[in-house]
Amino acid sequence: MIAADPSFYRDAPVYVGNEQPSEEVRAWAEQQPGFADLWIDRDNNGWLVIGFTSDVDQRQAELEAEFPGVGVAAAQVEF
């Protein structure tokens, strides 16, 4: 199973339903190098996980800057 680095997660926010800003995050992520896919991690507070093929630490920093307060984590994927 593909997962983000556990250090990328925080205790909040917690998403119960599908109230995550998926469309806004996806629109941003699709413009980034190495974007692969987006999914919801129900095991980690319903956070959005964005799969990238490279530069995951850099993408995580960019996600945190672009979407402060949003539960979103970058994960390394093969393709």
Instruction: Tell me the β-bridge partners of 75.
Output: 51
For 10, which DSSP code? Answer: -
- Tens of pLDDT, residue by residue over 12-62, are 999 998 999 999 999 999 999 999 999 999 999 999 999 999 999 999 999
Alpha helices in the chain (DSSP H): 22-29, 56-66
What is the predicted pLDDT for the residue at 8? 97
pTM assigned to the model:
0.93
Closest-CA residue to 62 (of 29, 34, 30): 29
